[in-house]
Amino acid sequence: MGTATREYGEVVRFAADAAGDGVRRIQRVHGAVARRAWRPTGPAGAPSRMVHDLTAAGAYGAVRAGFEVAGTVAGAVVDGVAGAAAWPPLSSSPRGGAFLGIVNGFAGDRLHERGSELALDMTIRHRRAEVPLEVDPLRAAFPAATGDVAVFLHGLVENDRSWWWGASRYCGDPEVSYGTRLREDLGITPVYLRYNTGLPVATNGRCLDELLTALVDAWPVPVERLSLVGHSMGGLVIRSACHRGATEGRPWVALVRHAVYLGTPHHGAPLARGSMALGAALARIPEVRPFARVLERPSAGIRDLRHGVVVADEDREADSPEDWFGEEGGDIPLLPDCRHHAVASTLTRRGNPVVDRLVGDLFVQTTSATGRSKGRRRVDFLAEEGMALGGAHHFALLNHPAVYDQVRGWLSQ
């Protein structure tokens, strides 16, 4: 990620690009409607249609060029003002951090490709600031560091502060999270990460493997035990990193004793599959096709959520119709010599097999969160090592007292 002062100008440029893209999509809709309107006229209508098309192309082109110029100029002005006034990073405020998380979730892969200042890197975060992976900065950020470390990975469109979700409601204190309580109760040092959830899961898995390697080397005291906790997509990234780390023989892998998956779509999320299928269906209608592409072609991270993809598969057809709802792709085994805990939540308090299977926690089905699909893909979680939470939605798993009690019990053993 670039300098903080250029983030604000990049927001302006991003907005201008989005506006220009919107104009382009409107132009395509206009063209589709025009083609349908002129179709009955046959060859006799060709001259008038040509005049219409040229006029429309010039008008839309001028509007797009206006947005491009305005974005460039306004972005440069904002960059200068932000630099002169020493504006703080966007992520230093709750709204700015949430904005970056959402933008990266939906367009992070494209932001990364163009080298945007808004594209997030995988970093350690402490008190809304990045902590370099070096001994002195880590010692300054974690003066009471212990050899028992818990690493927390958020999910799609979330950020490192998402782990404080519902703290006031559940705990009566906005500064309470799983990590803060583990530090007080068990002496475990919490480490929160932030990353670009729009990138492929396998890419983030590689980044996590590299980060954990550097973290263990630079940690102020020798690391004796690692616990990995992931919410939603974060659990897939953990599995991907463990697979890569074990394959590469990384030293940190031998330190992992617990991996906790909170509402992780191990077999995919139906909402991601359904939105893409809807986009593909609407794309068959010329008049709405330009806007349907937004649903049909989301970020790489969202595409991986369709089936819980954790490793790169170069041969897989990413957007084929049979890939929307089928059991596409194989799976990888869980990391050995580590206890794996799958936590699922359901909207129903007492459990309704039909509702739980179809809806789950609103975003992830219980069969996916527990790895118990009836298809050919299964994740070998032990039932006695997991937990089911009734009457709770997907995001409640970020900071729920009942979940914390269970996690504390696991990590205390």
Q: 257: helix, coil or strand?
A: strand
pLDDT at 84: 84
Burial 301-314 (b: 16+ CB within 10 A, else e): bbbbbbbbbbbeee
pLDDT digits (tens, 9 = 90+) for 387-411: 999 999 999 999 999 999 999 999 9
Q: List the one residue out of 78, 96, 80 whose CA is nearest residue 88.
A: 96
Residue scoring higher pLDDT (301 or 47): 301
pLDDT digits (tens, 9 = 90+) for 184-235: 999 999 999 999 999 999 999 999 999 999 999 999 999 999 999 999 999 9
Q: List the one residue out of 6, 7, 13 whose CA is nearest residue 72.
A: 13
pLDDT at 273: 57
State the DSSP H helix or E strand holding residue 260, giving kind and residue range, or none if neither.
strand 256-262
pLDDT digits (tens, 9 = 90+) for 46-56: 888 788 778 88
**Would you say residue 295 has pLDDT above 80?**
no
* Phi, psi (degrees; rounded to nearest 5) at 152: -110, 130
pLDDT at 9: 87
Residue scoring higher pLDDT (153 or 325): 153
pLDDT at 286: 57
